[in-house]
Amino acid sequence: MTILQDSFPYDVTPKPLPGIAPLVPVDGWVRQDEVFAQQMALRDQLLAQQRSKVHSDHGASLAAKVEVLENVLAIVRHRPGYTLTQTTVQRPDGVKVALDDDPLVVAARLVQEDLLVHEKPQGGDEHVLTAGVLCFPASWTLGEKAGNALVRIHKPVDDYHPDIARRVQRLFDGIQPGRPLWRHNVLRYRRAELFQPRSEMDPRHGDQDYGGGDFVRSEHQALVRMPKTRAVLFAIHTYVVLDRANDKTI
């Protein structure tokens, strides 16, 4: 299934890591674009047919997952096309989502974002990825990352050296409720598919899919502090746009 946005809503010029900026408005980490229905249909399909590949829970606190869902519900109840009842939420595409599943899975079925929960163990030095729904991986797998701390999660990112690791951990420590942050990346792919998992052991350069091609992929990545549990939510909204300059069909 090829799902393409028409354009990017921000300048995708690459920035040095970590490239973090304040996110305005504060609920802007929940984004909706012209391919909402298609992305949500694919998300539902992946969760129904390959749930073990796109959902993971490595000891996340129930309170943190519930708080993420509460935040999502608080945002979407004021968005056009959503209808909330005691037991379901109807999305703008008409699909009704039951509220009786895992709270993080429910939240991820309501918005286009992949949702990754990070918690800092008592006495720990780093935040740990404790649970996630990752339906649109850009060359990584949730299975290899879940349950690990930030430095281990970023293997094998070449630019993620110790100084960057310390700065990112300070960001996670310093994020305040009601003051989310965001960044973006930009990658080129030869295939437009949103679900492109890749093991850490697979090559990153010179293979048939990654590192070149006519499809430009950018992730709007938001960091949001949950005020009650202090968990940090990493929310990823994925855009894929055809580079018209390289489009051989026009």
The tokens for 117 are 């929960």
Contact present, 213 and 200 (Cβ < 8 Å)? no
Contact present, 229 and 61 (Cβ < 8 Å)? yes
Confidence of residue 155 (pLDDT cuts 50, 70, 90): low
Please give the average per-residue pLDDT across 147-158, as a whole number.
Answer: 68
pLDDT above 60 for 103: yes
Q: Which residues pair with 225 in a beta bridge?
A: 232
221-241: per-residue pLDDT in tens?
999 999 999 999 999 999 999
Contact present, 96 and 89 (Cβ < 8 Å)? yes
pLDDT above 80 for 152: no
How many degrees, rounded to 5, is the angle at CA 240 between CA 236 and CA 242? 165
Q: What is the value of pTM for the model shown?
A: 0.91
pLDDT given at position 203: 59
pLDDT given at position 154: 59
Confidence of residue 249 (pLDDT cuts 50, 70, 90): very low
For residue 246, give Cα distances in angstroms to 3, 4, 243: 18, 15, 6
pLDDT above 90 for 244: no
50-94: per-residue pLDDT in tens?
999 999 999 999 999 999 999 999 999 999 999 999 999 999 999
pLDDT above 50 for 17: yes
Of 161 and 117, the one with more pLDDT: 117
pLDDT given at position 21: 93
Contact present, 224 and 179 (Cβ < 8 Å)? no
| Residue-range domain boundaries for the chain | 21-246
22-55: per-residue pLDDT in tens?
999 999 999 999 999 999 999 999 999 999 999 9
